Structure 1
Amino acid sequence: MIRKKPGMASVKDMPLLQDGPPPGGFLPVRYARRISNTGPSAMAIFRGFCLGDVPSRALKEEKYAARRAILPILQAEEDERFVSEWNKYLDYEADVMKDVPGWKVV
């Protein structure tokens, strides 16, 4: 401060400016443990399990329908193969046991 000039004569003449809380106060300090909910709820999982698999179920049903349609053809082919193999077995058995008296190939 320069002497003999108008203005403050002492530090006591300074206006008071003190830091304080904002109007309404500070926000409360959170000190409790907060576990966040990360992930879907049980109801969302259940709903997704029940309703979300509709396209996949439709594809599976289409595949099963195709298998059911072709199954009789595959079964007929297997039956034909089995009868052929069984006749070969009976011919082999008759050839092996031809010298045994009283042996009948059934």
Structure 2
Amino acid sequence: MPPPGGFDAIKYKRNLPLRGPSGIVILGGVTALCAYGFYRVGKGNLEKRELQREKVWSRIHLVPLLLAEGDRDAYRRQQAALEREKEIMKDVPGWEAGKSVYNNPKYRSGEWVVVL
């Protein structure tokens, strides 16, 4: 016969322990991590934009210096070419160093102008 009070209940359900954080905690953590990442990207974009603006302004301020340097270089090259021409053509009678070799008065040195 059965014991007094009956038999114990049969345990048929799985008894799994809770492991790790819940889904809402994981979702909150991922959301916080993404928000922090977007914050850092925004700060990086602001800094990159400021560096780009600084580079543009530094180039703008360097233009007169670079133009002056180019002018000095062009003048130095022109004078050197004139001296070479004088040295090469010193034995040619009637040769004037630096004078245009074109007889057309419409020709202008350094310009690409077509006059009809």
Scaled by the length of structure 1, the TM-score of the pair is 0.51
- Amino acid of the structure 1 residue aligned with 2:54: E
- 2:70 aligns with 78
Partners of 1:100 and 1:61 in 2: CA distance: 58
Q: How many residues align?
A: 75
Q: How many angstroms apart in 2 are the aligned matches of 1:52 and 1:62?
A: 15
Determine if the alignment matches structure 1 residue 94 to structure 2 residue 86.
Answer: yes
Identity %: 27
Greater C-alpha Rg = 1
More helix by share: 2
Deviation at residue 104 of structure 1 after TM alignment: 4.3
Deviation of the 1:95 alpha carbon:
0.5
Report whether the alignment pairs 1:56 with 2:54.
Answer: no
CA distance in 1: counterparts of 2:74 and 2:54, whole angstroms: 30
- Between the aligned partners of 1:63 and 1:73, the Cα distance in structure 2 is 16
Task: List aligned pairs for 1:27-42, cutoff 5 A.
Answer: none
Alignment match, 1:30: none
Deviations 1:10-37 (A, max 9, x none): 6x42623311227xxx9xxxxxxxxxxx
The Cα of 1:63 is off from its aligned counterpart by: 1.9
